[in-house]
Amino acid sequence: MKILFLFLDGIGLGEDNPETNPFLHAKMPYLESLLGGKKLTKSATPFENDLISLQAVDPNLGVKGLPQSATGQAVLLTGINIPAELGYHYGPKPNPEVAQYLNGATLFSKTIHSGKKTALLNAYPPRYFDGIDSGKRLYSSIPLALTNAGIPLFTEKDYYAGNALSADFTGEGWHTFLGFPDAPLFEPETAGSKLADLARLYDFSFFEYWASDYAGHKQDMEWAVKQLDVLDGVLKGLLTNWDTSDLVLLTSDHGNMEDLGTRKHTPAQVPLILFGEKKKRDAFADVSDLTGIAPAISKLLPLS
């Protein structure tokens, strides 16, 4: 089987408060149709039907302080309660104490060690690599784990060749912010369908969407709603082009976007959305916090 891990940075399950929660304003007809007409909020969980499951998982992991990106993402990739072992949450980029967990014990490394294929389906622009090479930029947990597994990140050439997608799905950022006027552009639904095609090339694939966390920090309702409208189109293209004998997994590392009343992360539980056959979704039935996700993936694939 194949698993696509769709990671949405900074999305928690918020309250039904339209003043602060963009999920109550966004038009997400496709996702809401899958969830029986419900919006993606705390009150929608738990939910299950023939194709999809939604459950709440805890990103706090018994550690004081607000959950952070470096440790949360490292937990998702390893299944280890890193904040508990270190005694603190940390982010946004991993410090040496967090980074030590991202070498050899991650889902990327285990997939390679098991003789299977894996990839991070994001394409990175030249200025990203320039920042890494100059020391002005640090890898976040996910690309660090990938490169530690001996797998190169996809580049500008890969994006033009159709081997990867931009971090915003559509490629608009390559035009607006990165200065690539001839870069490929996709409608959200087309981008989702393309994501499904790419994921089928690998046993375990991963896509990192960070605009959701940025939207939370901006506290901009209009911009946040726009991101969710795009995401709904992506999900429609992805899931209508997906073989249900395989699995799509969507989750986050901490809350943020669901409460625009604060610029900070939140302690909210995060969604775990699973799309595929029920017998495969059942592998996650007992997952209650971030540590349970990687072991369930390892068991399903299976990984050694």
For the chain, what are the domain ranges?
3-46+56-292
Q: What is the pLDDT of residues 56-81, one digit of tens each?
A: 999 999 999 999 999 999 999 999 99
Nearest to 164 by CA among 149, 147, 150, 183: 183
Count of Cβ atoms closer than 10 Å to residue 222 Cβ? 9
**Tell me, what's the pLDDT at 158?**
98
Transcribe 211-222 into DSSP letters.
HHHHHHHHT-HH
With 0-12 CB in 10 A as exposed, 13-18 as middle and 19+ as buried, what is 114? middle
Q: What is the pLDDT of residues 167-191, one digit of tens each?
A: 999 999 999 999 999 999 999 999 9
Reply yes or no on whether the pLDDT at 213 is more than 90: no
How open is the CA angle 27-33-34, to the nearest 5 degrees?
120
Residues in the chain: 304
* Residue 53 φ/ψ, nearest 5 degrees: -130, 145
Mean pLDDT of 115-137: 96
With 0-12 CB in 10 A as exposed, 13-18 as middle and 19+ as buried, what is 146? buried
User: Are 105 and 155 in contact, with CB atoms under 8 Å apart?
Assistant: no
Alpha helices in 13-52 (DSSP H): 29-34
Reply yes or no on whether the pLDDT at 206 is more than 90: yes
Transcribe 125-174 into DSSP letters.
-HHHHHHHHHTSS---HHHHHHHHTT-PPB-HHHHHHTSSB-TTSSSHHH
Q: Any idea what DSSP says for residue 88?
A: S
Q: What is the pLDDT of residues 91-122, one digit of tens each?
A: 999 999 999 999 999 999 999 999 999 999 99
| E runs forming strands in the chain | 3-8, 47-48, 52-57, 118-120, 204-209, 247-251, 270-275
Write down the pTM of the prediction. 0.97
- Amino acid present at 22: P
Q: pLDDT category, 217, cuts 50, 70, 90?
A: confident
Helix (H, G, I), strand (E, B) or coil at 263: coil
Tell me which CATH homologous superfamily contains domain 3-46+56-292.
Alkaline Phosphatase, subunit A (3.40.720.10)
Q: What is the pLDDT of residues 6-31, one digit of tens each?
A: 999 999 999 999 999 999 999 999 99
**Tell me, what's the pLDDT at 66?**
97
Provide the greatest CA pair distance for the chain: 50
**Tell me, what's the pLDDT at 85?**
98
**Tell me, what's the pLDDT at 275?**
98
Query: How is the beta sheet containing 204-209 ordered, strand by strand?
Result: 47-48, 52-57, 270-275, 247-251, 3-8, 204-209, 118-120
Quote the percentage of the chain above a pLDDT of 70.
100
Reply yes or no on whether the pLDDT at 214 is more than 90: no
Mean pLDDT of 299-304: 94
Residue 184: is the preceding peptide bond cis (ω within 30°)?
no
**Tell me, what's the pLDDT at 149?**
98
CA atoms of 153 and 147, how far apart (whole Å): 7
**Tell me, what's the pLDDT at 43?**
97
Helices 211-218 and 221-240: crossing angle in degrees, nearest 10, is: 160
> What dihedral do alpha carbons 168, 93, 41, 49 form, nearest 10°?
70
Q: pLDDT category, 193, cuts 50, 70, 90?
A: very high
**CA dihedral sign of residues 50, 51, 55, 61:** positive
